[in-house]
């Protein structure tokens, strides 16, 4: 027998040509010794089967169950004696029973260890009629009574349920992404356009009636224009957030020194205006989307300059630290800091701690930062002390 387990004594008794049994085998072991060996070997085998964490069912060539373990009793809900001597088909769902003997014969014709039904979903039926999805490993095994098949059965109900849950979640996510995309589309066209018209016309009327307007009306119109401008900024940022990463992954080796240079270039007016000093250590190259990294650095750097106490000159330092399988980049400022209880919430959309009159903004910048970092498989957080300054850290793994 080619690739099958054997439960046989080392020297089994042989039949002599004259038809009588010899008392010793070819290795000189007595028949008694051979029987003992066989019994011992079988006991060991049964013990091994019994202690398996999987359900094990042993069936003879004709499909009769000859051995089951405790785990099989648990999995199928039968007592051992309800199974032994019965056709193994009793564990096969009704609709697959007619085809099963042919499959058994096929296995017996080419008996080798292999999983059953590769590429097919397998089911077994319990005593209470419940069908459980299973994985089955088949091993031919030479028993004293002849060639048997040992089936090792794993109940994969929980795994299947988890897979189904995952599939459902992924589908829901795809749906909500699609909705978000549609919303972004509506926001960009249908909302921005009327807003632009409102603002334009209020400014026009304001301009036309300039001299004729009393102070209260002028103030009221200024507020309307400011509100429209603010809403435009909100829609623009919201749109940037919604569309982020939609163009597909464009990860490449990205030199963070160049990225910081770009961000500083975009913030040049503000850097000059505030006299901010910005130092950066030698930064690494990251496997990242360069455009998104520039947006991330610009948001963090912009905040580091913006959230500075009145009368203080912003001083910002950007550095990097090597971690086990990622790089940690940090942006440290000498700004107003953040109360610890807000440290996580500031990464949520629209969450702002300071009045817009003091520090302009939409409250979306850090939500965008978080989305960018998560898109790269990393994490972002802040360590900060009120009045002392903040350090924003983000990690970018070597392999996204």
Residues that bind ligand ADP (CB under 6 A): 299, 303-304, 307, 333, 335-338, 346, 351-354, 361-367, 390
CB of 400 to ligand ADP, least distance (A): 24
What count of other Cβ atoms lies within 10 Å of the Cβ of residue 311? 5
How near is the Cβ of 366 to ligand ADP at its closest, in Å? Answer: 3
- What residues contact residue 198 under an 8 Å CB cut-off, 6+ apart? 224, 228
Considering the complex, state which of residue 59 and residue 336 has its C-beta at the smaller distance from ligand ADP.
336
Tokens describing residue 194:
């009327």
Q: With H, G, I as helix, E, B as strand and everything else as coil, classify residue 89.
A: helix
139 or 295: CB nearest ligand ADP: 295
SS3 115: strand
Q: What minimum distance in Å lies between the beta carbon of 227 and ligand ADP?
A: 16
Task: State in angstroms the smallest separation of the CB of 382 from ligand ADP.
Answer: 7
Decide if 337 contacts 387 (C-beta within 8 A). Answer: yes
Q: For 299, what's the count of Cα atoms within 13 Å in the CB-facing half-sphere? A: 27
What are the tokens at 231? 């809403």
Residue nearest to ligand ADP (CB): 361
The DSSP annotation for 208-235 comes to HTGGG--HHHHHHHHHHHHHHHHHHHHH
CA–CA gap between residue 149 and residue 139 (Å, rounded): 6
Nearest-approach distance from CB 363 to ligand ADP, in angstroms: 4
Rounded to a whole number of angstroms, the minimum distance from the CB of residue 280 to ligand ADP is 16
Q: Which one, 202 or 346, has the nearer CB to ligand ADP?
A: 346
Choice between 292 and 346, CB closer to ligand ADP: 346
45 vs 392 by CB, closer to ligand ADP: 392
C-beta of 364: minimal distance to ligand ADP in Å?
6
| C-beta of residue 396 within 8 angstroms of C-beta of residue 286 | yes
Report d(CA 281, CA 256) in Å as an integer. Answer: 10
Query: Exposed/middle/buried for 109, CB within 10 Å: 0-12, 13-18, 19+?
Result: exposed
Return the number of the residue (9 or 337) whose C-beta is nearest ligand ADP: 337
Q: Which is nearer to ligand ADP, 384 or 395 (CB)?
A: 384
């Amino acid at each position: 027998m080619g690739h099958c387990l054997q439960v046989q004594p080392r020297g089994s008794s042989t039949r002599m040509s004259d038809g009588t049994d010899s008392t010793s085998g070819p290795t000189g072991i007595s028949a008694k010794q051979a029987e003992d060996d066989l019994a011992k070997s079988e006991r060991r085998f049964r013990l091994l089967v019994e202690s398996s964490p999987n359900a094990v069912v042993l069936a003879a060539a004709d499909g009769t169950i000859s051995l089951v373990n405790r785990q099989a009793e648990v999995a199928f809900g039968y007592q051992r004696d309800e199974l032994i001597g019965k056709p193994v088909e009793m564990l096969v769902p009704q609709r697959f029973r007619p085809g099963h003997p042919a499959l058994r014969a096929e296995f017996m014709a080419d008996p080798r260890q292999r999983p059953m039904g590769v590429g097919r979903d397998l089911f077994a039926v319990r005593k209470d009629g419940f069908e459980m999805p299973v994985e089955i490993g088949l091993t031919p095994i030479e028993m004293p009574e002849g060639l048997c098949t040992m089936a090792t059965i794993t109940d994969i109900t929980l795994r299947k349920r988890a897979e189904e849950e995952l599939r459902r979640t992924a589908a829901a996510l795809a749906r909500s992404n699609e909705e978000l995309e549609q919303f972004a589309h509506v926001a960009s066209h249908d909302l921005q356009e009327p807003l632009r018209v409102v603002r334009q016309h209020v400014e026009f009327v304001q301009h036309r009636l300039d001299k004729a307007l009393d102070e209260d009306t002028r103030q009221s119109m200024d507020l309307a224009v400011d509100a429209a401008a603010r809403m435009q900024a909100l829609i623009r940022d919201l749109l940037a957030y919604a569309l982020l990463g939609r163009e597909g992954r464009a990860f490449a080796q990205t030199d963070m020194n160049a990225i910081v240079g770009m961000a500083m270039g975009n913030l040049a007016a503000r850097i000059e205006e505030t006299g901010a000093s910005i130092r950066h250590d030698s930064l690494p190259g990251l496997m990242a989307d360069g455009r998104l990294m520039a947006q991330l650095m610009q948001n963090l750097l912009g905040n580091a300059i913006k959230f500075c106490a009145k009368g203080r000159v912003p001083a910002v330092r950007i550095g990097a630290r090597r971690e086990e399988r990622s790089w940690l980049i940090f942006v440290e400022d000498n700004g107003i800091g953040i109360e610890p209880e807000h440290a996580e919430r500031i990464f949520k959309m629209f969450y702002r701690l300071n009045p817009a009159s003091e520090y302009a903004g939409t409250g979306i910048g850090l939500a965008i930062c978080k989305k960018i970092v998560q898109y790269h498989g990393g994490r972002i957080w802040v360590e900060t002390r009120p009045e002392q300054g903040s350090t924003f850290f983000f990690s970018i793994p070597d392999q996204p």
